[in-house]
């Protein structure tokens, strides 16, 4: 099997994944998954699509992760892995979509406006 690639985004994070048959290794920016994401919760988020399809030991995944924070990166990586798995086997799309792994979370940070301390917050109004 040749290498399948896919891209996932969340907030400012971008994950580019390259999936090929192997022993289940996930390498992120030349570091193993458990080193890049020490938190077991984030490791769980990343592995959710693989666990859903029970193919954790079947594919080796190489990842280029860029931008954002660790939570956004983990969720971007989850989306990218799910998209790659659908490219490999299109029949899996329904199962992944039902769990919400195929949905791009489009929420982004709202820009700060001039004359305000934050995006929505206003300075206290004084009538006199």
pLDDT per residue as tens digits for the range 31-87: 999 999 999 999 999 999 999 999 989 999 999 999 999 999 999 999 999 999 999
pLDDT of residue 64: 96
3-state secondary structure of 84: helix
Alpha helices in 89-127 (DSSP H): 93-99
The C-alpha atoms of residue 77 and residue 15 are separated, in whole angstroms, by 5
Q: Compute how many other C-beta atoms are within 10 angstroms of the C-beta atom of residue 24.
A: 13
pLDDT reported for residue 128: 86
What is the model's pTM?
Answer: 0.90
């Amino acid at each position: 099997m040749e290498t399948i690639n896919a891209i996932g985004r969340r907030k400012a994070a971008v994950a580019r994944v390259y999936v090929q048959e192997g022993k289940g290794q996930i390498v992120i920016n030349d570091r193993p998954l458990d080193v890049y994401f020490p938190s077991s919760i984030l490791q769980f988020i990343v592995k959710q699509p693989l666990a859903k399809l029970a193919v954790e030991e079947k594919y080796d995944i190489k990842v280029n992760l860029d931008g954002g924070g660790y939570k956004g990166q983990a969720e971007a990586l989850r989306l990218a892995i799910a998209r790659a798995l659908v490219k490999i086997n299109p029949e899996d799309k329904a199962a992944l979509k039902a769990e919400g792994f195929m949905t791009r979370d489009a929420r982004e940070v709202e820009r700060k406006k001039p004359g305000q301390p934050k995006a929505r917050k206003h300075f206290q109004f004084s009538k006199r």
